[in-house]
Structure 1
Amino acid sequence: MAIEVKIPPMGESITSGVLSKWHVKDGDIVKKDQPLFELETDKITSEGTAESAGKITFKVAAGTEVKIGQVVASIDEAASAAPAAAPAPAAAPSEASAKEGAKSDAQSPAVRRLAAETGVDPASVEGSGKAGRVTKGDMLAAGEAKPAEKAPAPAPTPSPQASRPSPAPTGERQTRVTMTKLRQTIAKRLVSAQHEAAMLTTFNEVDMSAVMELRKKYQDDFVKKNGVKLGFMSFFTKAVVQALKDVPAVNARIDGDTIVQNHYYDVSMAVSTEKGLMVPVIRNCDSLSMADIEKEIGNAAKKARDGKITLADLEGGVFTITNGGIFGSMLSTPILNAPQSAILGLHAINERPVALNGQVVIRPMMYLALSYDHRLVDGKEAVTFLVKVKQAIEDPARLLIGA
């Protein structure tokens, strides 16, 4: 019985995509739940798997644009793997090779010495000895008949013009690759965000000493209890949630001429993948523990990088956190993740001299950048929001009492 392999539904807003890659070959025997192909849409990249085992037959080639529900292959459940072919018996030595071997074995020491001195191969010499053996005289005659080696011609002196390296062919200097649908959509959204919003960025810096000390002190116990490391992102997520509660204007968006005020705290986390930047959403961050947040972030990042993210995983966020610090970024101005009204950019932690209580001390510092839609969020509210995040990170006890 043949089973049809169809493009699975991806959500109401996705009607087509590009079958960018087959993970198997046409005619392969596949197993149930084995990944078969990679589908790129304008929002997500996902994998199609085999519903049953059998022999697969392609109906479309890689790179083809396909519609949701379209049949792209069939699996013959009755087919089974062909038995492995028996190894071919070793070929019997040919008469000529046997002769050569016999001739080689019969060579005298004098013949072998002359072969080494003159470079004449005894196998190429017609032997005059008993049973066709090559004699010393045969080798001497062959050596005299061998033409003298020509001396290599001297290399011509290059002219100044010839010494200049010739330009590399155009094909080696450039390549052209069609943008994936996901990359096209990312590009359009980023440009759209800059055109539609009155985007502005405000900065601050935060002393990471307290958080780093907490992580160092409790990391082992945290891992033993929760099976996951305590990272910086859970602290910043909790700090953002508290700041959104204190400055509700940041937790809102513009819909036409209407302001939509959000009363929930689903935070989007930017994740870099080979296909591009994806922003899965961590739901109900206000009710999650630090361990739960770390686990959710880890799971979402893994799904995004494995191409298993769904459209539902990307929808509904009210605020975004992006961490360029993991790549060494010192400072940036992140672009809004529309239709959200603000995004927080984290950066690398570097030891810098700072003034503290009238003294210069060295502290691990990080720059924070808050980009926001100035149509909705005023400067006072943006600065207040960023200060709230700074205070929560520099004094994590605030997160326990909601101060």
Structure 2
Amino acid sequence: MSIEIKVPVLPESVADAVVATWHKKPGEFVKRDENLVDIETDKVVLEVVAPADGVIESILKDKGATVGAQETIALFKAGDASAAAAPAAKVDAPKTETKAAAAPAPAVAASTAEASDVLTPAVRRLVAEHGLDASKIPASGKDGRLTKEDVEAFISGKTAKAAAPAAAAKAAPVAAPAVAVPGSREERRVPMTRLRQRIAERLLSAQQNAAILTTFNDVNMKPVMELRAKYKEQFEKTHGVKLGFMSFFVKAATEALKRYPEVNASIDGNDVVYHGYYDIGVAVSAPRGLVVPVLRDTDRMGLADMEKAIGSYGQKAKDGTLTVEEMTGGTFTISNGGTFGSLFATPIINPPQSAILGMFRTEDRVMAVNGQVVIQPMMYVALSYDHRIIDGRESVGFLKTIKEFIEDPARLLLNV
């Protein structure tokens, strides 16, 4: 009896999804809980696993198809490896040569399935896209696990090795050698991912539906840098996590939001909704695009809690394992363009929030301090805000409060 493989229940805010990658083919034996297909929404990639040992009888929705929640995308038949091989043998029986050539296939499929059991979604997708056998790729990760870097290095090496034979084969039918034409104007058309489409829609909507204005300031990072240098080893030894700069800004933003509740509010129709909690999103660049996981109740978190959460979200973003719940909500966002070397920019609000703080690169600049010319490590910061709800007084005061907290970290502890 066939088992229907269905699309998982989608989050409330997600209307449909797209079949991203089929990891198994019809007739290929799979083990229980092995990933069959990735379903991509505009927020996350959902994995659909095998309900039991068996084979996929037929795929009803190919790669790229748009599907809805609980829609049937394949038919699955439970059974052991010997039972799974029987239908394939029956189909190939009239063609003896094809059957003989296909004999080693179950062993290859089994090795691939075994290797994919420990692969992260990001690695699994990369292996599937290039048609690789994961068991043949040298692994350098913990406990012999295969990392994304391992796969990319293998692909690069494979491409380099294949380049010379491919060029020779291409040149064989013609007298002249194959030479790249200087100044060639190649184009490549690639469909936007669901996540990239959603990012584009939200950013365009923010520009069209909000009165966005940006105010700037600069921050002397020397006090925080000295504090971090003094306690970073003891902090890591005590809490098991490194002390970064983002936690200081999250803490400073939380305290500033308490003083300026309009910045923590949002517009709903003709109403202003003032949030009595502080959920701060931290923008993270992932392979699939920009994602914003949310730190909940930051007013109750210490610096160590923040650093652990930020580190965990960063790894999940890289692996593609962030959940919808981890990226839903948020009353304020912080974006750190300085990690990519950006000196100055105007961040775009993340709707329905009313403001976003941008951090940028720290660099030594000549400053006048108490009548003396000194060199200080300075950072530009920017606050983009919705002028419909936040006035200049609140926006400038909010950013000034951030500056004061960072330049005098003791105020964060004394709450003054």
Please report the TM-score for the alignment, with normalisation by the length of structure 2. Answer: 0.73
Instruction: Say if 2:315 is the partner of 1:297.
Output: no
For 2:61, the equivalent position in structure 1 comes to: 60
Distance 1:227 1:53, change over 3 A: farther
Q: Is the deviation greater in 207-216 or in 70-79? A: 70-79
Q: Select 1:390's aligned residue among 372, 395, 403.
A: 403
- The residue type paired with residue 325 of structure 1 is G
Q: Decide whether the 8 Å contact of 1:46 with 1:309 is kept in 2.
A: no
For 1:221, the equivalent position in structure 2 comes to: 234
Distance 1:226 1:54, change over 3 A: farther
Once the two structures are TM-superposed, the CA of residue 53 in structure 1 deviates from its matched residue by 3.2
* Matched ranges for 1:161-180 at <5 A: 168=184, 173-180=186-193
For 1:69, the equivalent position in structure 2 comes to: 70
Query: Radius of gyration: which is bigger?
Result: 1
Instruction: Say if 2:353 is the partner of 1:340.
Output: yes
For 2:36, the equivalent position in structure 1 comes to: 36
For 2:327 and 2:43, the matched residues in 1 are separated by: 9
- The residue type paired with residue 331 of structure 1 is F
- The residue type paired with residue 380 of structure 1 is R
Instruction: Say if 2:320 is the partner of 1:307.
Output: yes
Deviation readout 1:173-192 (Å, 9 max, x if unpaired): 11112222221221111111
Once the two structures are TM-superposed, the CA of residue 330 in structure 1 deviates from its matched residue by 0.4
For 1:132, the equivalent position in structure 2 comes to: none
Which of the two has greater helix per residue?
2
Q: Is the deviation greater in 304-313 or in 375-384? A: 304-313
SS of match in other structure, 1:345: strand
* Matched ranges for 1:4-403 at <5 A: 4-57=4-57, 58-80=59-81, 168=184, 173-403=186-416
For 2:326 and 2:276, the matched residues in 1 are separated by: 19
SS of match in other structure, 1:347: strand
For 1:197 and 1:392, the matched residues in 2 are separated by: 29
SS of match in other structure, 1:286: helix
Once the two structures are TM-superposed, the CA of residue 232 in structure 1 deviates from its matched residue by 0.9
Distance 1:10 1:301, change over 3 A: farther
- The residue type paired with residue 24 of structure 1 is K
For 2:240 and 2:77, the matched residues in 1 are separated by: 43
- The residue type paired with residue 276 of structure 2 is H
Q: Decide whether the 8 Å contact of 2:10 with 2:16 is kept in 1.
A: no
Distance 1:86 1:288, change over 3 A: closer
Once the two structures are TM-superposed, the CA of residue 36 in structure 1 deviates from its matched residue by 2.6
- The residue type paired with residue 306 of structure 2 is I
Q: Is the deviation greater in 373-382 or in 69-78? A: 69-78
Q: Decide whether the 8 Å contact of 1:342 with 1:372 is kept in 2.
A: yes
For 1:400 and 1:79, the matched residues in 2 are separated by: 62
- The residue type paired with residue 34 of structure 1 is E
SS of match in other structure, 2:361: coil
Once the two structures are TM-superposed, the CA of residue 86 in structure 1 deviates from its matched residue by 12
Q: How many residues are treated as equivalent by the alignment?
A: 327
For 1:372 and 1:166, the matched residues in 2 are separated by: 48
For 1:74 and 1:281, the matched residues in 2 are separated by: 37
Q: Decide whether the 8 Å contact of 1:4 with 1:75 is kept in 2.
A: yes
Once the two structures are TM-superposed, the CA of residue 231 in structure 1 deviates from its matched residue by 1.1
Q: Decide whether the 8 Å contact of 1:47 with 1:308 is kept in 2.
A: no
Please report the TM-score for the alignment, with normalisation by the length of structure 1. Answer: 0.75
Deviation readout 1:80-104 (Å, 9 max, x if unpaired): 27796899xxxxxxxxxxxxxxxxx
Percentage of matched positions with identical amino acids? 51
Once the two structures are TM-superposed, the CA of residue 368 in structure 1 deviates from its matched residue by 0.2
For 1:345 and 1:382, the matched residues in 2 are separated by: 13
Once the two structures are TM-superposed, the CA of residue 76 in structure 1 deviates from its matched residue by 3.3
Once the two structures are TM-superposed, the CA of residue 203 in structure 1 deviates from its matched residue by 0.5
Distance 1:226 1:76, change over 3 A: farther
Once the two structures are TM-superposed, the CA of residue 299 in structure 1 deviates from its matched residue by 2.0
SS of match in other structure, 2:398: helix
Once the two structures are TM-superposed, the CA of residue 353 in structure 1 deviates from its matched residue by 1.3
Q: Decide whether the 8 Å contact of 1:52 with 1:75 is kept in 2.
A: no
For 1:258 and 1:340, the matched residues in 2 are separated by: 14
For 1:228 and 1:314, the matched residues in 2 are separated by: 23
Distance 1:212 1:53, change over 3 A: farther
Once the two structures are TM-superposed, the CA of residue 35 in structure 1 deviates from its matched residue by 2.9
- The residue type paired with residue 15 of structure 1 is A
Q: Decide whether the 8 Å contact of 2:23 with 2:37 is kept in 1.
A: yes
Once the two structures are TM-superposed, the CA of residue 167 in structure 1 deviates from its matched residue by 6.4
Unmatched segments (≥5 aa) in structure 1: 88-164
